[in-house]
Amino acid sequence: MATQPQFKSDAFEAIHRAASSLHRSGAMNKQTMREFDEMCLTAAPHFDAQAIVKIRTDAKVSQPVFARYLNTSTSTVQKWESGAKQPSGIAARLLQVVQKHGLDVLT
């Protein structure tokens, strides 16, 4: 399941699409495209330990089951829930999807 990029606004989405076209055609280099990504796309959300526990308990699953859905280890989920580690990047986006739509969206 591919997630769609989340843009700061419709205007940023239009700008990013134009930049992507320029990049695909070779008229824009990777570095410039990364700068457009940073400018146009929303940052991955931040989830503290309590928020992650709530997402999992709302889904009514154990840490091992939650980890399996997220394709990570039980120890990683434990570290997230204790605050020893923070999910970032794709893990944070995945938690955002689960928070909004539930675990069923991942099956």
Read off the pLDDT of each residue in 43-63 and give the average, rounded to a whole number. 94
Q: Is residue 91 helix, strand or coil?
A: helix
Specify if 4 maps to a domain: no
Pick the residue with more confidence: 3 or 44?
Answer: 44
Could you tell me if 30 and 65 lie in one domain?
Answer: no
Q: Which CATH number goes with the domain that contains 71?
A: 1.10.260
Range of the domain at 16: 10-40
Could you tell me if 53 and 84 lie in one domain?
Answer: yes
Q: What confidence score (pLDDT) does residue 2 get?
A: 52
| The two three-digit tokens of residue 77, written as one number | 């989920």
Other CB atoms within 10 A of residue 91 CB = 19
Could you tell me if 65 and 16 lie in one domain?
Answer: no
Residue 36 — very low, low, confident or very high, per pLDDT cuts 50/70/90?
confident
Specify if 19 maps to a domain: yes
Q: For all residues of the chain together, what is the average pLDDT? A: 89
